[in-house]
Structure 1
């Protein structure tokens, strides 16, 4: 029996057990009444056989015509979901004193389940619904229910009903497999614009804005860090105004990008320190120019952005030579702290950026965090930040069958499960070739004489 807040009077019982179910089943009742009316009219006019024939014919037409079948199926699906939501909210104790519950305003099917907009009744709050999300999920018999408050209106909430992992190969509505980068065939791009990097559980493209931000990518070997890093490099490669200085401890991950790399550092700590020193000089000179101009941040007119992808950051930050390691770490911390406003973007990938591998003073300056599959909750918290695993957000729960899937903490206050786009070796070679042609055409290496002298 559904719990109600109203008094158990005859009127209340009639409302609860007659009017409310009738309203929740109104779509199905309306369809039945239409069929009954058509059948009754045909029975009276032509007899029983004609009535049965008309009913069967109407049902057959609705099932045979794709538009009618989709419309009818969508209507019945929404009705079933609304009934389940009504019961779940009442069993979770979300009914107000006047027996109102959060009401579904809009429903949309997504790969992971459903995305709904919900109106909160007077006397309730979004926080009430969020606190009872687990009870609602139990009643709906789904994996998870996520609730987010509308930033502009307190009476509206965005609710995600997660029924399945859409990134698994055997998912009913899967987005597993290779996700192509939507800009793979582009001729020229602008790194100042948001960059598409993957797809989330709702099937939406996820973008990040790189200028003014730094990124930390972490996860166990084979989780997809290098593929995610390649997407960022690809956008920079197709922007002839961007300079790419790559640090590649394994010498292989950035090898295909060499035609568009302005500077390449392999597994040599001395070269890495020299490159970081040159970047620091460029940064200082830019700040002098900004100070003279009375501005606080660079614009596209001030010269090129610098993207610094680092594969296996731990090789440099945890080098065996203590003095050289400390020198590199001090430079990296300075670049991460002051380089953002000067147009220097640090994108670092490593396996587990724990304090003994990456100094916390450097790690904490990398605002964007992308945690690929991790072996432990502690490793996930090391990437995303302390406390997320306790809140139920952990990259250790990512299935091993879903390479490229990670928890992205970027433009928002909660990590999102995102599957990164993937570029094949052939696509990387083609993008690198187009990027080199663009640089040759626009004279990329001669656009900033001051930067040339510093380098």
Structure 2
């Protein structure tokens, strides 16, 4: 007996129909006429001859079409290039992120379910049509098998060979095969038909319909056209080209950062290329004599050499060597996707001593800012999101009921107005209001704050070591009301306006420079935003503006007009290190470079909290302060006492927007009501005399049917503007 591994010799007297049908149905491989290797097209084809798309499964470049380059293979190392270990628990599954991860997952499941639910009737129609096609295809296959497919070709072959003996032999074989296969086909059809009628008569309809479902799906599978699916795709996964070492080397050599044909001018890698945060990163070693500055200047050429957008290429310093840097290339533009709504919308209490969530970096990691012991400068062109960025940090401080707030907006925009719900001091714009002159409110607050800082240092130095172990403010001291040293966050938006107000700007500038240098160590946080970081005017105030700008430890630059302005915001040398906010696209809103908050300088997409969101957060913050008993200052209705009075400014403040003139009696009554500390016993004659002494003429004013002496709003404003122009 022959073993199972032995092949049986075919019977020469019997025709093998299975082999003949296989040979006739097997496509002939294409052969290169030039004598090249055989190309198997079937290997590149899917089922039923459908050609598969393999453009994203091959290397980006043809290895045979370019000069061989020396490089590392693409790999994912077990450890990061700097030797640090990956977190055991992924970031998305950590306790602080678990809720967001589950919410995002459930939201995606709900979206996909809804997408397919709406299209389910169409899916059913397709399945029925494909099942009908599948049934006809199965019947055709069975009939073709019984009738012996391709027998005409065999008979024609013998006729062409003029071999009647062979023709008769094949004819007899065909008849014999059809008879045998017909019997087999009849045995198949008989039980199926009888079983179908029996099942229809005896089996409950519900079970019968359930049994038909898999049969329907099987038939639909056989009947669907090649490359077609019944269920569509709800979420289309983006596709990108995989970078490899040859692509990176080609880009660097095209950028003239090295030469593969010269000794000592080859580009080398300090690590294997690895996947990280939606992109690929690798340590690149430039030739001796080249450094980070050269790579930064050639960033555009590198992006072109890799055939990606400039916004996808990030170059950062490696501390081990100046000629080594980290290249990170995003799969797609990472800055085009917004970071989403602010997590502060949960309206939960915050802690100013903990980092404030600010946004997401280019790799999708959460970026937080430590506000304690620091001051933060935000600069950008108009309408790039600097106010939103500053307000995000102020909202975080507002949700800490033990942190005091002072908010001053030189631009007077609506963005900050709702902070009146929680701020101890606030002033918006430069025009006079019922609260007084915004510039005077600011200078009065800064005077008090300077004295408070000096007093704090004196009191901290006198506290026992067990209470104040390092001689500086602690969380326990700040939250204990008996020490009277709460943390303050001072937000100044469009602060350049306060350096351009004439004589009063000298004192404001002097106080701000002192405080930004000294106050952070006493628990006073500054968050300052400006659209004019280059400065204002000339002279002493201008130099103090520069000093104030340059003494911020943390810098955040959204899109600027040039690299020079970017350096003014980020600090000198930022451009040489590869950080230029002028390269950010104008379509990006709320995207900027954060320098000084950590060792890295990420490009951050800030969280969004629009006007409605901010109001919701501030209403919750006010309730937290009321519950904790820490609501105070102007937010609690307390008036801000002034050291001196300004008769001209005070008179201007009592005019409503639509009022063109007021009687002296009305002016005196309003001043006594609004500013009682200076005008409690004021008479109409007294205020008339004081105003006329300042240059305001007394004229007849017709009001409420009476024509009496008084002042016109236009005259008061004219005198006030003249005074400001003269620097008085």
* TM-score (norm. length: structure 1): 0.70
Q: 2:451 aligns with which of 281, 289, 304?
A: 281
Secondary structure of the residue that 1:104 maps to in structure 2?
Answer: coil
Could you tell me how far apart the structure 2 residues matched to 1:146 and 1:245 are?
Answer: 37
Greater C-alpha radius of gyration: 2
2:618 equivalent in structure 1 = 432
C-alpha distance 190-354 of structure 1, shift in aligned 2 (>3 A): same
8 Å CA contact 1:143–1:163 kept in 2: the answer is no
C-alpha distance 202-125 of structure 1, shift in aligned 2 (>3 A): farther
- 1:310 equivalent in alignment to 2:475: no
1:201 Cα deviation after fit: 2.1
Secondary structure of the residue that 2:535 maps to in structure 1?
Answer: coil
Which blocks of at least 5 consecutive residues in structure 1 are unaligned?
1-15, 27-62, 65-72, 168-173
2:272 equivalent in structure 1 = 104
C-alpha distance 409-19 of structure 1, shift in aligned 2 (>3 A): closer
Which blocks of at least 5 consecutive residues in structure 2 are unaligned?
1-65, 76-227, 230-237, 431-437, 479-485, 642-728
1:192 equivalent in structure 2 = 353
Paired residue total:
379
Could you tell me how far apart the structure 2 residues matched to 1:314 and 1:346 are?
Answer: 15
Deviates most, 230-239 or 144-153: 144-153
- 1:298 equivalent in alignment to 2:477: no
Could you tell me how far apart the structure 2 residues matched to 1:188 and 1:158 are?
Answer: 38
Mapping for residues 352-391 of structure 1, pairs under 5 Å: 352-356=532-536, 359-389=545-575
Could you tell me how far apart the structure 2 residues matched to 1:126 and 1:183 are?
Answer: 49
1:141 equivalent in structure 2 = 307
- What is the root-mean-square deviation of aligned Cα atoms in Å? 4.2
8 Å CA contact 2:258–2:267 kept in 1: the answer is no
- 1:257 equivalent in alignment to 2:419: yes
- 1:160 equivalent in alignment to 2:328: yes
Could you tell me how far apart the structure 1 residues matched to 2:375 and 2:555 are?
Answer: 9
Which of the pair has the greater relative contact order for Cα pairs under 8 Å at 6+ separation? 1
Deviates most, 406-415 or 236-245: 406-415
Could you tell me how far apart the structure 1 residues matched to 2:250 and 2:517 are?
Answer: 51
Mapping for residues 33-432 of structure 1, pairs under 5 Å: 81-85=244-248, 87-88=250-251, 93=258, 101-102=268-269, 103-108=271-276, 110=278, 114-118=279-283, 131-132=294-295, 134=298, 136-144=302-310, 145-151=313-319, 158-161=326-329, 165-167=333-335, 174-176=336-338, 179-249=340-410, 250=412, 252-266=414-428, 267=430, 268-293=438-463, 295-303=470-478, 304-320=486-502, 322=503, 324-356=504-536, 359-389=545-575, 393-412=579-598, 415-432=601-618
The list of structure 1 runs, each at least 4 consecutive aligned residues, that deviate by more than 6 angstroms after superposition, is: 16-21, 94-100, 123-127, 152-156
Could you tell me how far apart the structure 2 residues matched to 1:344 and 1:149 are?
Answer: 32
Could you tell me how far apart the structure 1 residues matched to 2:291 and 2:73 are?
Answer: 23
After superposition, the C-alpha distances for 1:64-83 in whole angstroms (9 at most, x for unaligned) are: 9xxxxxxxx99x965x5244
Could you tell me how far apart the structure 2 residues matched to 1:222 and 1:215 are?
Answer: 19
1:101 Cα deviation after fit: 3.2
1:255 Cα deviation after fit: 0.9
C-alpha distance 20-209 of structure 1, shift in aligned 2 (>3 A): closer
Could you tell me how far apart the structure 1 residues matched to 2:623 and 2:449 are?
Answer: 25
1:104 Cα deviation after fit: 1.8
C-alpha distance 385-251 of structure 1, shift in aligned 2 (>3 A): same
* TM-score (norm. length: structure 2): 0.46
8 Å CA contact 1:290–1:297 kept in 2: the answer is yes
Secondary structure of the residue that 1:353 maps to in structure 2?
Answer: coil
8 Å CA contact 1:369–1:383 kept in 2: the answer is yes
Higher strand fraction: Structure 1 or Structure 2?
Answer: 1
C-alpha distance 391-180 of structure 1, shift in aligned 2 (>3 A): same
